Amino acid sequence: MRIIEHAKALLLEGKLVAIPTETVYGLGADAKNPKAIQRVYAVKGRPTTNPLIIHIPNQDAMSDWAIDIPIEAYRLANAFWPGPLTLILKRNPCVPKIVTGGQETVALRVPNHSLTLELLHHFKGGIAAPSANRYGRISPTTAKHVQEELGQAVDYILDGGPCTVGIESTIVYMVDATPFILRQGHISKSAIEAIIKHQPLLHNETPTITVPGSSASHYAPTKPLYLLYRESLLERVRHCIEKNKSVCVLSFFEKPESLQGSPGVIDWVCLPLDPTIVARQLYHQLREFDKNESHCILVQEPPDAEAWLAIKDRLQRAARPED
Ligand code: TXA
Ligand code: MG
């Protein structure tokens, strides 16, 4: 396919190509080209100590980038690749240190998107790619988001349509005897536990591992976002309207009758109680809300159940603390 050949040629020249994946779009560069990688950090505005994920075509390529790979990592790769799972393994010395943010570990993932898999098979190397957004902002889930976010800074956008998962991959640290989940995602802790015999622990139980990308504020729109339970959310809507501050709302219930026609409510989107569907829509909706004339974004806390953990995590990082 011509677009694949074009993307491959650009990568070989050290250019930046935005790639579609099932989770979010990535800002891709040749993982073996330190100059291209340097540009990825610069375009994103991300510190070079915060490492990138290397996207590979299949499980067989793991050993090109990692060493001392534990059997359980192979088990997880078998079960979930191609798919929204990133494994942190011991770095193969051939991996440029700039990709791993200077760390002795490397992040690997086989993404589940036909165009990107085809590109990876043709390219033969690895594509290092963080999410294709400016540092700290919302990840893009369409080619248009990438264009709006990065404009001319990216050399080519491989348009693979809207991402089907919609939030970033689950990251599992597999370097020591005990695996850890460093970032929640579509693949849950119990799905991982069903495959490996060790209990993976959640990040807040693992104070000794540094997770560069886990700063509290992340995935954030430019206007304030408040995460609230149903009653507080309704109170906040009324309070904002009284103060002439317009709002937009993301909730699991319909806009109440009493607020119909209220000019202070710019938009009200009622979400289904289905985490798969919500994940797919979430970032697009937050981007839309960020563009309209409202003062702030009010989001209802999702239910307390494992299937919602990744969405809760992203919302908590996007939210402003109460002021
Ligand atoms: O779904 C995804 O994972 C998307 C798509 C494009 O694959 N990528 C993505 O990349 O979300 P990024 O860079 O936005 O987030 C990757 C996270 C960062 O928080 C980074 O710090 C962490 O992975 N990471 C990468 N290498 C690591 C390592 N060696 N040790 C610990 N954390 C690492
Ligand atoms: Mg990111």
Sort strands 156-157 and 170-173 into parallel, antiparallel or unpaired.
unpaired
Cα–ligand 2 centroid distance for 131 (angstroms): 4
**Residue 250: pLDDT over 70:** yes
Q: What are the pLDDT digits (tens) for 275-311?
A: 999 999 999 999 999 999 999 999 999 999 999 999 9
**Cα 16 from Cα 55, distance rounded (Å):** 14
Q: Using one digit for the tens of pLDDT, what is the confidence trace for 73-124?
A: 999 999 999 999 999 999 999 999 999 999 999 999 999 999 999 999 999 9
Q: Would you place residue 216 in the very low, low, confident or very high pLDDT band (cuts 50, 70, 90)?
A: low
- Give the end-to-end CA distance of the chain in Å, rounded to a whole number: 53
Which ligand has the minimum distance to the alpha carbon of residue 40?
1
Residue 132 above 70 pLDDT?
A: yes
Nearest-atom number in ligand 1 for the CA of 86 is 3
Ligand closest in space to the Cα of 135: 2
Q: Are 220 and 136 in contact (CB under 8 A)?
A: yes
**Rounded-to-integer distance, Cα 129 and Cα 81, Å:** 17
pLDDT at residue 182 above 80? Answer: yes
Q: What is the pLDDT, as a whole number, of residue 55?
A: 99
Ligand 1 mean position to 107 CA, how many Å?
Answer: 7
What was the pLDDT predicted at 208? Answer: 56
Tell me how far apart the alpha carbons of residues 283 and 141 are, in angstroms, rounded to a whole number. Answer: 7
The HSE-up count of residue 30 (CA atoms within 13 Å, CB side) is 18
Q: What is the mean pLDDT of the chain?
A: 94
- The pocket around ligand 1, CB under 6 angstroms, is made up of 21, 23-24, 26, 50-53, 86, 88, 100, 103, 105-107, 109, 111, 129-131, 168-169, 171, 182, 211-213
Take atom 10 of ligand 1 and give the residue whose Cα is closest. Answer: 130
From the CA of 86, how far away is ligand 1's center (Å)?
8
Query: What is the rounded distance in angstroms from the CA atom of residue 283 to the CA atom of residue 277?
Result: 12
CA–CA gap between residue 84 and residue 23 (Å, rounded): 6
Q: Judge residue 8's burial from the number of C-beta atoms within 10 Å of its C-beta, 0-12 exposed, 13-18 middle, 19 or more buried.
A: buried
